[in-house]
Structure 1
Amino acid sequence: MLVPDFLSPDDQKVFDLLIGRVQQQWHQARHNYGYYTGANQKMAFAQAKYEDNFKKIFEKFSDNFCGMIIDSITERTRVEGFRMTDEPAADKDAQEIWQRNFLDADSNSTHTDALVNGRSFLTVWADEDGNPTITPEPFSHIAVKTVPGSRRQLEAAVKSYVDEWGRQYATFWTPTTVYSMYLDQDAPGGWVSKETTANPLGTVPVIQVNTRSDLYQHPKSELSSIIPIQDMINKTVMDAAIASEFAAWPQRYVTGLEIQEDSAGRPIAPFQVAIDKLLQAESPEVKFGQFEAANLSNYVTLIEMLVQHLASISRIPFHYFLSGGGMIPSGDAITSAESGLVAKAQERMLYFGEAWEQAMRLAFQIKGDSRAEAFSAETIWRDPERRTEAQHIDSLVKLSTIGVPQRVLWEKAGFTPSEIERFDALSEEQAEKAKEMADKYGPDDPQTDNEDQAQKTAEKAPQGNSGNANRELAGK
């Protein structure tokens, strides 16, 4: 057992526990990502002889739905910004931290890793200039240990990875100290200390990004209930491929034919059977015939049933799988069909949002900002529901009639905090120009008054040709 000799005995036990968990998580992540990408899915053959004949042909084939299931959720969980306090400036500062750390793209990768493995991680630290850095970390690199009796407070965490030269590095965090080290089999304890620094945050700067978990903190991959069905689909597809080779072509038979043998007593095949060969025999007693071709629709029916089960368990709409003849619903039908996926995405937002908000509070703690205690902070998410532009805008117009503020309507319309900030600036600019015009020409604009008068006249009942003339005037 390789344990750093520069750690205290208690820390050595925790480090040994966590480094073992990292290794377990690495194997688990490799297995899950193999299904997500389809790279590690192997076709199952019913018999060994089929594997010998067809393994090379179908070696890279997989009818993989796992990637689509994960991506369907990821694309509906997009962070737009943060509301740290009631002040818009707080959102601006959080957005600056977010953009500085390239999290528009990396947050998407974090959500994908969490969905595939059940959990991902974030580390929060300060760079050389003292700016907060939020770094997404894969499930395969970090393991954590919580304080006994707590589901959230961390006692320690370990990050371990291997560089391109094959050397293994590790970082061990405690609430008071951070240890950096690398593995050297010849060193005492196996680990060599690179750097030991105090932890100014007073807490382990690692955040768990859970896709969902029970009260026992067991992360659950989105693929855990999908993989068995995916394996069954691959097996059925492979059986259909083998059947198409041996049974889809009608098998022929012959009766009354004497089978010749070679000198060793082995039977000699009487014909070279092929699709373009004609069979004949000299004896009139010989009869030929053929069996019916295998009906491959049974395989199709079974695969469709398995896909339906897959859609039901994953809560992904049937039309995503092109089930039901490939008909894509529209209007209210598509809203109803995608309601399960929308609800699932919103549930995942609860777990993801808690992690991002905690990361932002730690980032503000590094900046020495009071918003480190902003426990009322909330993540602003892009609307996960897909609607037509006309439907969306119509609903926002109706909300405006009941007094919903303009800024809230902009958020619900899907505009980013940066765009909303720009809208505010443009609105202020327009208000300034209007004030300048009013100061220069007075509150009453003659041109506006004339247009209003023409509109009112045009709305009156027509009197000869005057009504038409007024309407033409109002339309100019």
Structure 2
Amino acid sequence: MTTQTELLTDLMQRLDAPAARYADLDRYYTGKQPLAFLSPEAKTALGNRFGVMASNIPRLSVTALAERLRITGFSGDAELWADWVRNDLDQTSGVAHREALLLGDSYVIVWADQFGNPNVTVESAKQVAVLTDPGTRQTVAAVKRWEDTRAKTTEAVMYLPDRIIRLRANQAGATSTGFQTVDEIANPLGVVPVVNLRNTDRIIGDWGSSEIDDLKPLVDALNKSLADMMVTSEYVGRPRRWATGIELTEEPVLDDDGNPVLDEDDQPVMTEVNPIPEGNRAMISENDAAKFGQLAAADLAGYEASVRVILGQIMAVSTLPAHYVGVFTDNPASADALRAAEASLTARAEARQATFGRAWEQVARLIVAVRDGRDPNLIDDIRVQWADAATRSVAQEADAVVKLYSAGLLPASYALGKLGYSDDQIAEIRTARTQDSPTSTTGVGVGA
């Protein structure tokens, strides 16, 4: 029999295990990862004179998918969408998607507020972890941990199928030790009210996978090519000039305060300098034997070819179309061409809809269970509805939907949903049409 202390230790260890990986993914997402593939000599030569050079493809790959994961409603419960909007999930569900696409996991906690209404919060994998049964793959325990910076304590809540335990450690940064039980309440739901949104297309694995895992080495290579191009542009991209037959001048070496540096004999240390300032556009010499010339500028075309090759690999791995990553080809000439160019990205987004949809349906069942006092295991008729993941031509889509509705193949509510309207927007349209033209029978009606 696992004790509460052992269970808490297992949960805390699982919470801390991927911390280094999450920090690395965060650096790539924010474009603050260090330059890779640089030789020690190059690092020494550049020193601190080179700024941050990062093409933030990882953020683009995450947001390009997340913007296509938009929940528009649920079937099976007429009041569910109102609870969804009241908890701001029409906005924060997108945050959960981005978090899961980046880190591999995100979480949603469902409980009741002081009035008994469902209270739903989106949580980061940096603060929440779950344990699952290997046989049933059901969540058997979960924990959320955070620091209270004002009280200098570490707070935690452990979620079990039969009870919820509030814990506290009187120190900041506590991991798995030093926690004492502050409060304990019964869990009438009978299940752990924590849902895991896992970004994975495999069954086996302790954690979800990040969309940028495969992109990291390619992004490092891209940033290296861009950095080399910038360094080359700085040093040899501008044509270098040369001159012969001109005597160099001597100037004293000055210290930080502007005073001459003296040698052992108290004589100023002198250095030879170019008599023609670097910024001068004209070079003049009194020596009739002096000669001037200019070296050829560096050709940066090789770097452009390198960038194109790497971007091609990035497009293949991430399914980002060419016009997303800045490849200079002809833009899609029509809406159909645009949809074709984004077909792979759309297919990946639809796969993520199927993956996350099961988790959101579990969240919806918990919302209904809290609201109505029902057993969440007996609620099985709720289905999530997603907006079309493809880039749509509004005119073409509207024309097709109106034709299907006019032919009697689609009811009005479904037709409006096909056009991208959410459940609450459809309700507002129905009310407005009833008030404005209660006898109207033309167009996409509201009675079907």
Q: TM-score, normalised by structure 2?
A: 0.82
- Aligned equivalents of 2:378 and 2:46: distance in 1? 61
Equivalent position amino acid for 1:52 in 2 = G
Q: Indicate the RMSD between aligned Cα atoms, in angstroms.
A: 3.4
CA contact (8 A) 1:122 1:359 kept: yes
- Output the amino acid matched with 1:339: A
- Checking the alignment, whether the CA contact within 8 Å between 1:363 and 1:372 is kept in structure 2 is no
Partners of 2:144 and 2:157 within 8 A in 1: yes
Q: Which residue of 1 aligns with 2:143?
A: 158
Q: What SS does structure 2 have at the residue aligned with 1:150?
A: coil
Distance in 2 (alpha carbons) for counterparts of 1:379 and 1:399: 23
Q: Does 1:355 align with 2:355?
A: no
Query: C-alpha distance in 2, partners of 1:240/1:331?
Result: 36
- 1:191 equivalenced with 2:156 (yes/no): no
Equivalent position amino acid for 1:397 in 2: V
2:59 is paired with a residue whose SS is helix
- Once the 2 structures are TM-superposed, how far is the Cα of residue 375 of structure 1 from its aligned partner? 2.0
Q: CA deviation at 1:380?
A: 1.1
Choose from 398, 407, 426 the match for 1:420: 426
2:211 matched to 1:216?
no
Cα distance, 1:296 vs. partner?
Answer: 1.2
The separation in 2 between residues aligned to 1:260 and 1:49, in whole angstroms, is 30
Structure 1's 412 and 94: CA in aligned 2 closer, same or farther, altered over 3 A? same
- Determine the C-alpha separation between the residues in 1 that align with 2:2 and 2:401: 61
- Displacement after TM superposition at 1:192 (Å): 2.2
* Shift in CA distance, 431/249, structure 1 to aligned 2, threshold 3 Å: closer
SS of match in other structure, 2:237: coil
1:289 deviates by 4.8
Aligned to 1:394: 399
The alignment partner of 1:240 has SS state of: helix
Between structure 1 and structure 2, the one with the greater Rg is 1
For the pair 1:10 / 2:14, whether they are aligned, the reply is no
Identity level (%): 28
Shift of 1:66: 1.7
Aligned counterparts of 1:53 and 1:254: Cα–Cα separation in 2: 31
The match for 2:220 is 231
Q: 2:234 is matched by which residue type in structure 1?
A: E
User: Tell me, what secondary structure is at the counterpart of 1:292?
Assistant: coil
Indicate the residue corresponding to 2:233 in structure 1.
Answer: 244
Q: Following the alignment from structure 1 to structure 2, what is the Cα–Cα distance between the partners of residues 131 and 101?
A: 10
AA at the equivalent of 2:357: G
* Larger fraction in helix: 1
Q: 1:392 to 1:254 in 2, by over 3 A?
A: same
Q: Which residue of 1 aligns with 2:43?
A: 48
Instruction: Indicate how the Cα distance of structure 1 residues 183 and 53 shifts in structure 2: closer, same or farther if over 3 A, else same.
Output: closer
Alignment coverage as a number of residue pairs: 416
Q: What SS is found at the alignment partner of 1:54?
A: coil
State how far apart, in whole Å, the 1-side matches of 2:129 and 2:376 are.
Answer: 28
Assess, with a 3 A threshold, how the Cα gap between structure 1 residues 261 and 391 changes in structure 2: closer, same or farther. Answer: closer
TM-score under structure 1 length normalisation: 0.78
Tell me what 2:260 maps to.
Answer: none
8 Å contact from structure 1 (residues 26, 140) kept in 2: yes
Partner of residue 193 from structure 2, selected from 202, 205, 214:
205
- Structure 1 pair 424–259 and aligned structure 2 pair: CA distance change class (3 A): closer
What whole-Å deviation, never above 9, does each CA across 1:304-329 have from its counterpart, x for those lacking one?
Answer: 22222212211111111221246354
Shift in alpha-carbon separation, 1:257–1:17, aligned structure 2, 3 A: farther
Q: Structure 2 CA distance, aligned partners of 1:431 and 1:254?
A: 86
The corresponding residue for 2:16 is 23
User: Which amino acid is the alignment partner of residue 10 of structure 1?
Assistant: T
Structure 1's 144 and 192: CA in aligned 2 closer, same or farther, altered over 3 A?
A: same
Q: CA separation of 1:271/1:374 partners in 2, compared to 1, >3 Å: closer, same or farther?
A: same
Deviation at 1:69, TM superposition (A): 1.6
Residue 314 of structure 2 corresponds to: 310
Q: Letter of the aligned partner of 2:390 in structure 1?
A: E
Supply the distance in 2 between the matched residues of 1:290 and 1:432 (Cα, whole angstroms).
Answer: 82
Q: Which residue is equivalent to 1:170?
A: 156
Q: 1:121 to 1:341 in 2, by over 3 A?
A: same
| CA distance 1:12–1:258, shift in 2 (3 Å) | same
Change (3 A) 1:68 1:13: same
Aligned partner of 1:335 among 336, 339, 344: 339
